[in-house]
A and B are shown apart, each in its own frame.
Chain A
Amino acid sequence: MAIADLLPEVSARFPEITERESLDWLAINVPASILVAVMTYLRDEQGFDLLTDISGVDWDKDTPRFSSVYHLLSTGKHTYLRVVTDCEGDDESPRVPSLVSVWPAANWHEREAFDMFGIRFEGHPDLRRILMWDDYPYFPLRKEFPLAGIETELPDPEVAEETGVGVKAAPMAGGPFVAPQESHMSRREPRARDESWNEGREKPQHQ
């Protein structure tokens, strides 16, 4: 079966599904309420047996603010399918059903999306942070979080007391180790050109 036949077949079964604009593979929008049913159907009857990735998107000012993106691969048909689900809940604690019951591979991917975006995957057996430490208070990939970071405590209070070190904002615009940007290109430190907002300059507010 070609990938072109997939969409009519899937939307005949689940009329809520709509096609999503995509540059490469077929992408579909799935409401969070039927996500697990759709994914089980795609796995069992359409042959999408491998979950390759789960990621989150922060749409900043849009509502709903967060989306969860799933990349499925059919090892039999050699096609990818992208599934996008808008999160339920308010902007501070977005929710989406967990897919660990469908693909065990979802476990760590969902933990990462939770760690970075704060998306709560409901039904996840062990929803902890996976990259940052457990007590970290922020979600670093959200739009309002500055790249340089926000001052907070070290993960180990004993070491923090011994060394007097805390998590500080990284020097983006200045600091002892940042080379000046005006000299010759070979002497400059490579870094992001966009310095419109960093720890020294406020983020411009959207009008």
Chain B
Amino acid sequence: MTQIIINILIAIYNGMIFLHIPYALGFSIIGLTVLIRLVLYPLISSQLKASKKMQELSPHLKNLKTTHKNDAKRLQQETMKLYKDHGVNPAAGCLPVIIQLPIIWGLYSVLQEVVRLAPDKVVSEVNSKIYPVLSFFKISAPWDPTFFGLPLGKTPAQLFSTMAIIAILVPVLTGFFQFIQSKMMFSVPPKKEGEKEKKKDDFASVFQSQSMYIFPIMIGFFSYTFPIGLSLYWNTFTIFGIIQQYKIAGLGGLSVWINKIYGKK
């Protein structure tokens, strides 16, 4: 997995170098992320569509749950019927989620290593990972480890003394985009089965209801301690996700705010 990702990354990097694009490493990271997102696009789209319809149906589902409280089999059949009538087809099951996780993790671990390579080791380290078949992709000179002046291998924490604004801006932006995505995801406040079940410890229930806010802050904090190259990857990933979500399911939970800004309602 790791090696495949490195080979694709270097292939893109070679393309960038061939076209004399500056900051080729940074753009290669963006390119690789976009490529993977494009491959996953149909799978995730189908999931988003199903998810949107299911959210619309959730009041009906609640009704069914109360009417067939004691008959689990009947409830199952009625649910199935409801989905069929409204054309919900969660055909992919949980595959989109399960497939994404190793990919996200794989990209993370590869980029983590790649951006941190010392300039004198770049050529030997990278070339040792290239498949023999693809040996024409071997690089001959170390890459430019910066992206518009930002050192991709350094963390905002390390840059705090020299570029304080950047060091703050990167985590804030990363958290912000993450928040936009989370906000769009839940068009209705996430009230789920967790409510009916006995409320366990307070921390868990707070975490659930506030995960939309907690998670972006966590991500922002992570990006403060991770190399900027990783934040570049993660933001590309999130922004692509936001655009895809917007195209498929609309603004979702964000629409409330957008309407406020434009003075509607």
Q: Do A and B bind each other?
A: no
Q: Give residues in B with beta carbon < 8 Å to A.
A: none
